[in-house]
Amino acid sequence: MKYQDFRRQYLAGGLRRADLMRSPFDQFQAWLDQAISSEIRDPTAMVLSTIDSTGKPSQRIVLMKDFSKKGFIFFTNYGSAKGNAITSNSEVSLLFPWTELDRQVIISGRAEKLSRSESEKYFNSRPRESRLVALFSDQSRTVVDRDTMVKGVDALDQKHPGDDIPFPENWGGYRVNSSRMEFWQGGENRLHDRFLYSLDIDHIWNIERLQP
């Protein structure tokens, strides 16, 4: 099998400057709505890229839980590999890979912690099982086997039989305050359409077409 022979044409449709909304957040909302209505799997899944204290990059998929003009929100363990990397370097990148629509959205910006009240509010809205796992997990640390994790979560389940599960002190949300947003639409014969929104010093979003 020759992997170099795996290719296809991108025929889902082009993207023109006249199609774009003035605000990248409005444009993102329109594309997100289309991704959801198209029933693609995990439309809010995004690849989070970070750089740790040694300069090594890492990527992982997280779920966007909300967004606004203030930024894009996700939640995690603050002591995890991504949490530690953000502590060292808060500049991150997000990628929404909507491949079924021949689209990508790439977002660059600075990650900042949400307030405790914002994190607690979301934590308490989660399913009970998810809250127990968040309370138990020392994310990114080694563990002997799966049975150890199952027993640990079961023990917390018995310790906190009601719905009042303690909020983990090392868990919460981040908001990525975007300064650059690129919208990529696949094009026939690799002549892709790419538009970059960048925030200038006057806090105005400029739009430029990029070569494929």
Rounded CA separation 107/101 (Å): 18
Active-site pick, 16, 116, 141, 190? 190
Rounded CA separation 152/132 (Å): 9
Residue 195: φ, ψ to 5° = -130, 130
Q: What pLDDT does 162 receive? A: 85
Reported pTM: 0.92
Angle CA(127)–CA(61)–CA(64) in degrees, nearest 5?
A: 55
Rounded CA separation 134/152 (Å): 11
Rg of the chain over Cα atoms, rounded to whole angstroms, equals 20
Looking at residue 21, its amino acid is: M
Spell out, as residue ranges, where the chain has pLDDT lower than 50: none
Q: What pLDDT does 143 receive? A: 85
Q: What pLDDT does 141 receive? A: 87
190 is catalytic: yes
Q: What pLDDT does 106 receive? A: 98
For the chain, list the domains and their CATH numbers. Answer: 8-118+171-210 (2.30.110.10)
